[in-house]
Structure 1
């Protein structure tokens, strides 16, 4: 392994990707495999009485979550839609009364997954192992042309892999380059959030470490900057400027960041003559504002499609099909999902009237429309187990034909339906394969029908997470 990779591997080995000062922070999980891991939960603790915590991420989407205790902030970070490895930097700080703010950073390695096409000189049947940084993948057996495709996970900063091929007790070793874009993280922090018109503010540039002026090109609109230390700059707004905009680009072209802050306009106060004070009751506190952005997100939707069969005893059996749409609620870590589901059930039977009586041909088509709740009970790796329960209305259409009737008899109606189910899901990226066992109740009693369209059922299907 090359020496420049060692500091990065030490970062990846840490159980928590956290800076020591000024606020303790934790991230779970501590690294992300792109295409598999969908979110990271970050918690930051601050002393009581501290002003509001501010946050920004070098990439991805950082959203605040409801606080669980006083002095504790929680965030949900969604990785970017990329497949190449990258180091993500999350920054958290509080505006200081004087001087630049102290920034807590959380670094999250994003591992890219790919299949490495390996060609060897040892022929067919060789065992190939690929080493990427300190991780090994394989063994995979080569085909008759001496080639193999090895699935690997690549951490950020790694540009090559070691291929070990073993055949007939002999091992060969060679190095193969990895096609990874040379992208690096860059975060720009402006403090305070609103600049004083006649005062100054602060700019902090962060990447893997603080980024000094010598490594970055700065373009500032509406103000000027002066470096006070590595990666820390004093910012002074220009006269008449309404906004300060900073564009930062690493000189090697591997990263960029943009940040802006408004400039407070001067306020002219008109002091009226003093009046006799009037004692009034204290005003009612304003109602807290609800951040609807965490609820109105396409990432919370998950359509599903399942097909199978049901059995309720006797002739009450047949195929079924269901199509639904779920919405994952942000509270409780996203473990609760509300679903609406529509389906199709078909039942056919041929009862006889007496030992030698005529045969009736009865066919029932049922359309259930249900509202359900799904709860995540267990999750480990790609496997997850869920419990489901729901109820709704079931619309049915029966058609009966017989030699006794000159014309087919038909009737329509609806009845109540309820169900409970256990569901297993195996995640394959954004798509999950489903297996569901369900018990349901839907009794139909009318003039010409007495059937059970519930019973036990088993279904296979898929669910897609947007």
Structure 2
């Protein structure tokens, strides 16, 4: 049985492993409580000019996300549908021209939640605390039979818990086993993604660390393997093989992995017989067509909704809401986005008609329709900062009522509106929380109205990427 402190050491060493890897990688959150945490966002940064990044996970579902910055790969990892603790290993690498690839690994502990049934000899009313690894849960009071159920979270690799029961100033301590399957992670990486016919490739086996041949059983179809170092094997495809398939099993039967890579078919040159020479008319080179399909994708669209308030001096203040649709431009790594936005803002005031005249109740409702450009200025982990600039038309409706009026005075019109804004976003998977500070100008001036529907505003909201 492995030492229970091993997963704790892996959790403590996780930032060091990521920093020492070929490519810097971050995971948010760094661990998962099964049944509560739904997904983990992983980002891997690579230098410019690096070939495409490849990725695989020992368990769960690893999906690429749209690029938000040049040289940054983002992934969404969904944990497996299990309830027992396990260590998940995510591997990222780039095929090397020569030699095996350097693999960046991100290890994510999956903590299982359960209720531990505890029976004590100290009777009813005892305070029970359960220690699992370095975490404590409780206290829970025992019932009249001296029993209690304590909710606990179990990290991977832990096989037992310590139960402390305190009653009448005395404490007892005992160890209780945990029913946890002895499953371990195993990842198999084949490089390159397509094997050359007369060349060789590489197999890398990873778990909690590199897995040597002495700890694993390998079954290879379509090729042969030779260990070059702990966990690193040279692969030679067999003559006539169309693919190389590797099945790896840990000898203690706690983990398994399967991986496949096709073998490039040999190129056969076909030399056609010479044809009689024909004088051909001058060739007309067609103008290159634009492949619009790369721009027509739902993954470039986003929706946002914000609400807040604005202040423009005097009585020109009130609530505002807005909703919009954005399109992220694929060039420049998706740093530019075009947005259209519609909103609602309201101003309420009570001016007096003359020095001694009656009080008027004035309500102005503005409906802005705006177009804007959003620019990504800064990004680190889930946090990003954006700048926005836009303009459009604001339609307004003013209604004035008073005890001295038989009917309300109504005035409608439209005016120009422009704005500049700074926006902060915190990404939570496909949804981002937004905070926006905006300065805008929208002056509504007519025969019976002199209002400023722009000014300074602050809004909170969300953005959803389709």
Shorter-chain TM-score: what band? 0.5 to 0.7
Task: Pick from 83, 87, 112 the counterpart of residue 110 of structure 2.
Answer: 112
Within 5 Å, which residues of 2 pair with 1:50-449? 56-59=54-57, 60-61=62-63, 76=73, 78-82=75-79, 85-96=87-98, 101-112=99-110, 115-118=113-116, 120=118, 126=127, 128=129, 130-132=131-133, 136-138=134-136, 141-142=139-140, 147-149=149-151, 154=155, 158-160=157-159, 162-163=161-162, 165=164, 167=166, 168=169, 170=171, 172=173, 174-175=175-176, 177=178, 182=183, 184-191=185-192, 193=194, 195-196=196-197, 199=198, 201-202=200-201, 204=203, 206-208=205-207, 209=210, 215-218=217-220, 220=221, 224-229=222-227, 231-238=233-240, 243-244=242-243, 246=245, 248=247, 250=249, 252=253, 254-269=256-271, 298=299, 303-325=303-325, 340-357=340-357, 360-368=360-368, 369-371=370-372, 373=374, 384=383, 386=385, 388-402=387-401, 404=405, 408-421=409-422, 423=424, 434=434, 436-449=436-449
In 2, Cα distance between the equivalents of 1:19 and 1:349? 58
Deviations 1:401-460 (A, max 9, x none): 4565757533131322314346575x7676555555544332222333211112333444
User: Could you give the per-residue CA deviations for residues 20-53 of structure 1, whole angstroms, max 9, x where no partner exists?
Assistant: 9xxx71333389435575123244799xxxxx85
- Distance (Å, rounded) in 1 between the aligned partners of 2:308 and 2:360: 26
User: Residue 26 of structure 1 corresponds to which residue in structure 2?
Assistant: 23
Return closer, same or farther for 1:461/1:126 CA change in 2, 3 Å cut-off: farther
**Is 2:243–2:260's contact at 8 Å kept on the other side of the alignment?**
no
Secondary structure at the aligned position of 2:23 is classed as strand
Q: Distance in 2 between matches of 1:181 and 1:412?
A: 73
The verdict on how the C-alpha distance between 1:114 and 1:318 changes in structure 2, with shifts beyond 3 A counting, is farther
Alignment partner of 2:313: what SS? coil
* Unaligned residue ranges in structure 1 (runs of 5+): 47-51, 69-73, 273-285
Query: What secondary structure is seen at the aligned counterpart in 2 of 1:447?
Result: coil
Q: TM-score, normalised by structure 1?
A: 0.67
Deviation at 1:13?
1.7
- In structure 2, relative to structure 1, the CA distance for the partners of 1:417 and 1:6 (3 Å cut) is same
In the alignment, the residues of structure 1 paired with residue 67 and residue 398 of structure 2 have an alpha-carbon distance, to the nearest angstrom, of: 54
Q: Report deviation, 1:244.
A: 2.7
Q: Equivalent residue for 2:285?
A: none
Alpha-carbon contact 2:366-2:395 (below 8 Å) kept: yes
Are the counterparts in 2 of residues 19 and 104 from structure 1 also a CA contact under 8 Å? no
User: Would the alpha carbon gap of residues 357 and 142 (structure 1) be closer, same or farther in structure 2, given more than 3 Å must change?
Assistant: same
SS at match of 2:269: coil
Q: Is the 8 A contact 1:140 1:148 kept in 2?
A: yes
* 1:235 shift after superposition: 0.8
The Cα offsets for residues 38-77 of structure 1, whole Å up to 9 and x where unpaired, read as: 123244799xxxxx85753222357998999xxxxx5625
Looking at structure 1, the residues matched to 164 and 429 of structure 2 have their Cα atoms a distance apart, in angstroms, of: 30
**1:90: Cα distance to partner?**
2.8
RMSD across aligned positions (CA):
5.1
Check 1:14–1:461 CA distance in 2 against 1; reply closer, same or farther (3 A cut). closer
Distance, in Å, in 2 between the alignment partners of 1:446 and 1:153 is: 69
CA distance in 2, matches of 1:138, 1:405: 73
Shift of 1:185: 3.2
Distance 2:391 2:69 in 1: 35
Q: CA deviation at 1:215?
A: 1.8
Quick one: distance in 2 between partners of 1:301 and 1:180? Answer: 43
The structure-2 alpha-carbon separation of the partners of 1:361 and 1:336, relative to structure 1 and needing over 3 Å to count, comes to same
Q: Tell me how far apart the structure 2 counterparts of residues 311 and 17 of structure 1 sit (CA, whole Å).
A: 50
Distance 1:159 1:266, change over 3 A: farther
Mark the runs of 5 or more structure 2 residues left unpaired by the alignment.
Answer: 81-85, 275-287
Partner of 1:40: 43
**How many aligned positions are there?**
417
CA contact (8 A) 1:323 1:342 kept: yes
Shift of 1:103: 2.9
Q: Deviations over 1:271-317 (max 9, x none)?
A: 98xxxxxxxxxxxxx9xx99969x9683x766443323323233322
Task: Return the alpha-carbon distance in structure 1 between the equivalents of residues 139 and 331 of structure 2.
Answer: 47
